[in-house]
Structures are given as structure tokens and as C-alpha cells.
């Protein structure tokens, strides 16, 4: 196909996607090639696959299904504290797993607030351990993310559309059918695929809340292959399986998510005439209170647990915090360098494979990427010297799927609306990028950068293999404190981590300004 005239070349984006794919498949190949002997997949691996799929499907389905009414309520309502609530939606997702689990159990555990409340009423404590516990925890992690992704879909419907619909006397049902359903049809598959991919590679959450080895996921099987059996071949095989599943989910999402966008508006303040009825107010209020309670209770448990320990943080914890901020900053820059060209290439119609490459970052087992990178780097350089850049790069690749979900819809609109105009004004290439593309993308860039920074701050990822004594990140330090019985100090360090992540997210997201208001 001859190249159409386009405001920017998709080559950079294709290159970035190629780089991501090379990193993921290259490390996988490195691990597979290093394997000596080993056995193939056994029956326990297939059981792990089955459990992984069931819990990932349930978790993704439930997270996104619940996110729809919550995002709709947040899109329709304006209230005091809304911005803070939306910012806090990012929090569960970025917590180190162990901290989040302890927070959740403080609320829903056998000795948690919920069960204590039931005991006062003379009822049995809730039983959280089991498949439902795994799903509950995954919804806790992913409902906020899904809500943010869907909320953005609502915000991309121009205010003028709602105004027009109201002028034409469309009732709530008609507005749903004309505006909201088509939007959901475009946004929901992507959100489902992202949450599915996250839950697919779950390990500690699934095991702890699953209540035993029944809740063995593929990631745990990889872990076992690596450290219990030192069977690198099987680790690579299982990791490949994970990639195939995620790749398939991503492909389906790309195919299903069809429909034209709504175009752009004039960024007028939004008014929703369909939300003025009492019933609508009550319904929206119900969902907002429910979601806020579900998310904020465990978070406040974490804050309460952490406050006493905050006073006794040692120098090494602060040093680790500094390292984490450095990693987060570097990883955010890397992420934008990868994601922006990829998003613009997708917007130019080079979608499919780039989007799939983008989502693979989530599916790749951190253990396998880390080991693969180690095998590749070890003969040529000192892995310790590269701890910071390697951690930042891997974190950037892991944040890529979220960034693309955020950037792509807007990039499509910007290129569709301003691309031809810019070409006719002879503003192709860099002038288009600087004067049209980036300024129009600013809110989405801010959101994506904020999410990437926060994620990177909280991620243990590959650091374990590259960790040298002088370079510990804050999550690693939290684990070390716990490993040394210092649970209180660990809770304090975890609160510091939560605060830093939220601050990074808030600053970058605010840097992009008004998108949460529109």
C-alpha cells in the first residue's frame, strides 16, 4: 500500500512497538535458550492455567461491569472532593501487593472491621479466602483503573452532543442508546483486555486470598519452575502461554472495539439534563458512595497502620525513596518516548499489531523478563551498574498498555480532525507534533505520565535480580523491613510509598489540567 499523505510518519511508532516486542520476546528466548533439560507442561500446570483463566475472566468482567455505573455517576455529577476521589482511584493499583493485601484483610479479614461488626450483631465472620476472595482483591485493584478508563470515554463525548440531545428532547434512555452505548462499545473491550491481562499474571494476591494451592496461577507455576525446579525451559514455556493468552485477548479487544468517535467539541462545560431527576441522583450517589467506601476503607486501614511507623523511618528508607523517585522519573520519560509515537501510529491506522505489542508488557512475567535481561546483560556488563535503567525500562514497558488505552482515543481524534488541515497548511512533521498534536494531547499525556510514575514507584518488578546493596527501591525496602520483623516500620515505609506515588500521580495528572472536569 502506498503511503497516504499523513501529518506524521508512523515509522517511529512502528519502531517503538518493535522495540517493545523485541524486549519481551528477546528475553523469553534468552531464558528458553539457556534451559538445559526439563519436562514439559504437566497436569498441575494445566490446572494452574484453568484457575488463572477463571479468576482472570471473573475479575475482569466484574471490575469492568461495576466500573460502568461508577464512571457514569462520576461523569454526571459534580461534588466537593470529586477530584480527590478521582485521584485516589489510582491508589490501590500502585500499592505493593503485600501492603494492599494487609489493608484489604484489615477490612474484610477474619479479624477485620467487617467481621468485627458482624460479631457485634452476633453473626459469623465473613470468609474471605477462596475464589471469591481472589476476585474481591482483583476488583479492589482494578475497579479504580477500569473506572478511570471508562470515565475518560465519557469525557471524550463532547458536551455539545449532550446539549444537542437535550434540545431534541432525548430522554435518559435515548441518550444511553445514542451516546453512551456506542462509546462503551469502543472503550469497554480495551478496558476488559487490560484488566484481564493484569489478573492473568497475578500471583501473591491469588495465592494468599485463594486460601491454598488450589489458587495456583501460571505466574506461581513460573516461579516454581524457576526457583524450585530451576527448569528454565518450563518457565519460558509457561511465560509464552501467558503471552499467547494476553495477545489473544488483546486481538479480540481490538477487533471488537469498533465504531466511530464523536469528534471534538469546543470544550464547553458539560451539562447533563438526563441526570436531573431524583432517581438518577440517588442512583449515582449510591454508586459513588459504594465505590468510595470499597476503595477508601482498605486505604484508610493502610494509612492508620502506617502513621506510627512514619516517625521512625531510617535513612536507608529515605534513600530508597529517592531511588524510587529516580526510577519513576526515568521510567515516565521512557514510557512517553515509547507510547506517544505508538499512539500516533495507531491513530494513523497502523493499529492492530502495535496495540497488541503494547499490551504484551502486561502479560510478560516480570520474573522471566528479569531473568532474560540478566542472561543477556551478564556477559557484557555489570548487572548492578544497570539496575536503575533496567528497572525503569521494564516498568515503562509494563505501564505501556495503560498509556496506550489513555492516549490512543484522543490521538485518533486529533489526527482525524486536524490532520488534513495541518497538511493543507504544510504543517506536517515536527510542526504538527509541537503545535497541534502535543498541545491537544496534554491532558491525556499528563494522566498517562502520572499513572506510569505511580506504577513505577510501586513496582518490585525485576529489581530482585539486579538489586545491589546500595540500590534498593522503596517497595524492596518495605519487604526487607517485613523480613526483619519490623512490621510497624514497614507499614510506615508503605505509607511513604503510597504518599509519594499519589503525589507523583497528582502532579503529573494536574499538569495536564482540565480533563477531569470536562
List interacting residues with another protein (CB under 8 A): 34, 44, 47, 98, 101-102, 105-106, 109-111, 129, 203-204, 207-214, 220, 223-224, 226-228, 230, 314, 316, 371, 374-375, 378-379, 384, 464-465, 467-469, 476, 479-487
Q: 321, 334, 315, 299: which is closest to 476 by C-alpha?
A: 321
Indicate the residue among 163 and 480 with the shorter CB distance to another protein. 480
Q: 390, 413, 144: which is closest to 262 by C-alpha?
A: 413
The Cα–Cα gap between 236 and 45 comes to: 13
Minimum distance, C-beta of residue 213 to another protein, in the bound complex (Å)? 5
Q: How many CB atoms neighbour CB 423 within 10 A?
A: 15
Minimum distance, C-beta of residue 277 to another protein, in the bound complex (Å)? 44
Indicate the residue among 360 and 387 with the shorter CB distance to another protein. 387
Minimum distance, C-beta of residue 465 to another protein, in the bound complex (Å)? 7
Minimum distance, C-beta of residue 301 to another protein, in the bound complex (Å)? 10
> Can you give 214-272 as a three-state secondary structure string?
HHCCHHHHHHHHHHHCCCHHHHHHHHHHHHHHHHHHHHHHHHHCCCCCCCCCCCCCCCC
Q: 472, 491, 489: which is closest to 313 by C-alpha?
A: 489
Q: 442, 459, 450: which is closest to 398 by C-alpha?
A: 459
Q: How many CB atoms neighbour CB 57 within 10 A?
A: 16
Q: How many CB atoms neighbour CB 447 within 10 A?
A: 25
Indicate the residue among 227 and 268 with the shorter CB distance to another protein. 227
Minimum distance, C-beta of residue 235 to another protein, in the bound complex (Å)? 10
Minimum distance, C-beta of residue 482 to another protein, in the bound complex (Å)? 4
For residue 468, give the 3-state DSSP assignment.
strand
Indicate the residue among 301 and 359 with the shorter CB distance to another protein. 301
CB 393 within 8 A of CB 334: yes
N- to C-terminal Cα distance for the chain? 39
Indicate the residue among 165 and 463 with the shorter CB distance to another protein. 463
Minimum distance, C-beta of residue 373 to another protein, in the bound complex (Å)? 11
Indicate the residue among 31 and 403 with the shorter CB distance to another protein. 31
The Cα–Cα gap between 283 and 62 comes to: 19
Indicate the residue among 327 and 489 with the shorter CB distance to another protein. 489
Indicate the residue among 305 and 433 with the shorter CB distance to another protein. 305
The Cα–Cα gap between 319 and 325 comes to: 10
Minimum distance, C-beta of residue 249 to another protein, in the bound complex (Å)? 25
Amino acid at each position: 500500500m502506498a503511503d497516504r499523505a499523513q501529518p506524521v510518519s508512523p515509522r517511529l511508532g512502528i519502531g517503538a512497538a518493535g522495540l517493545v516486542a523485541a524486549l519481551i520476546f528477546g528475553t523469553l528466548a534468552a531464558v528458553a535458550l539457556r534451559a538445559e533439560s526439563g519436562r514439559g507442561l504437566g497436569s498441575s500446570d494445566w490446572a494452574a492455567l484453568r484457575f488463572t483463566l477463571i479468576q482472570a475472566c471473573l475479575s475482569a468482567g466484574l471490575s469492568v461491569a461495576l466500573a460502568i455505573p461508577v464512571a457514569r455517576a462520576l461523569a454526571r455529577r459534580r461534588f466537593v472532593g470529586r477530584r480527590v476521589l478521582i485521584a485516589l482511584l489510582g491508589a490501590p493499583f500502585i500499592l505493593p501487593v503485600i501492603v494492599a493485601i494487609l489493608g484489604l484483610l484489615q477490612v474484610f479479614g477474619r479479624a477485620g472491621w467487617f467481621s468485627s461488626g458482624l460479631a457485634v450483631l452476633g453473626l459469623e465472620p465473613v470468609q474471605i479466602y477462596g475464589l471469591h476472595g481472589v476476585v474481591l482483591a482483583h476488583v479492589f485493584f482494578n475497579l479504580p483503573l477500569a473506572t478511570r478508563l471508562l470515565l475518560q470515554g465519557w469525557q471524550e463525548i463532547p458536551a455539545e452532543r449532550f446539549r444537542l440531545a437535550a434540545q431534541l428532547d432525548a430522554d435518559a434512555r435515548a441518550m444511553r442508546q445514542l451516546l453512551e452505548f456506542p462509546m462503551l462499545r469502543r472503550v469497554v473491550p480495551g478496558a476488559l483486555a487490560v484488566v484481564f491481562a493484569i489478573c492473568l499474571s497475578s500471583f501473591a494476591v491469588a495465592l494468599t486470598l485463594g486460601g491454598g494451592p488450589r489458587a495456583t496461577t501460571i505466574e506461581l507455576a513460573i516461579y516454581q519452575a524457576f526457583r524450585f525446579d530451576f527448569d528454565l525451559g518450563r518457565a519460558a514455556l509457561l511465560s509464552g502461554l501467558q503471552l499467547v493468552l494476553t495477545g489473544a485477548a488483546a486481538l479480540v479487544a481490538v477487533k471488537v472495539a469498533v465504531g466511530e468517535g464523536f469528534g471534538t467539541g469546543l470544550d464547553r462545560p458539560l451539562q447533563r439534563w438526563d441526570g436531573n431527576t431524583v432517581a438518577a441522583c440517588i442512583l449515582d450517589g449510591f454508586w459513588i458512595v459504594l465505590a468510595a467506601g470499597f476503595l477508601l476503607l482498605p486505604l484508610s486501614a493502610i494509612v492508620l497502620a502506617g502513621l506510627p511507623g512514619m516517625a521512625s523511618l531510617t535513612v536507608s528508607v529515605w534513600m530508597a525513596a529517592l531511588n524510587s523517585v529516580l526510577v519513576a522519573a526515568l521510567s515516565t520519560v521512557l514510557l512517553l518516548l515509547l507510547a506517544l509515537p505508538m499512539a500516533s501510529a495507531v491513530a494513523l491506522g497502523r493499529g492492530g499489531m502495535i496495540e497488541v505489542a503494547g499490551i504484551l508488557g502486561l502479560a510478560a512475567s516480570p520474573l522471566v523478563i528479569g531473568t532474560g535481561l540478566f542472561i543477556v546483560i551478564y556477559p557484557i556488563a555489570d548487572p548492578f551498574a544497570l539496575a536503575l535503567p533496567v528497572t525503569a525500562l521494564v516498568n515503562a514497558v509494563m505501564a505501556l498498555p495503560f498509556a496506550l488505552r489513555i492516549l490512543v482515543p484522543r490521538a485518533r481524534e486529533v489526527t482525524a480532525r486536524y490532520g488534513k488541515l495541518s497538511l493543507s497548511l504544510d504543517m506536517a512533521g515536527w510542526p504538527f507534533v509541537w503545535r497541534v498534536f502535543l498541545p491537544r494531547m496534554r491532558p491525556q499525556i499528563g494522566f498517562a505520565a502520572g499513572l506510569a510514575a505511580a506504577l513505577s514507584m510501586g513496582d518490585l518488578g525485576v529489581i530482585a535480580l539486579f538489586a545491589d546493596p546500595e540500590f534498593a527501591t522503596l517497595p524492596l525496602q518495605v519487604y526487607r523491613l517485613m523480613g526483619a520483623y519490623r512490621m510497624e516500620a514497614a507499614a510506615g515505609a508503605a505509607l511513604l510509598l503510597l504518599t509519594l506515588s499519589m503525589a507523583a500521580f497528582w502532579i503529573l495528572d494536574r499538569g495536564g489540567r482540565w480533563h477531569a472536569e470536562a
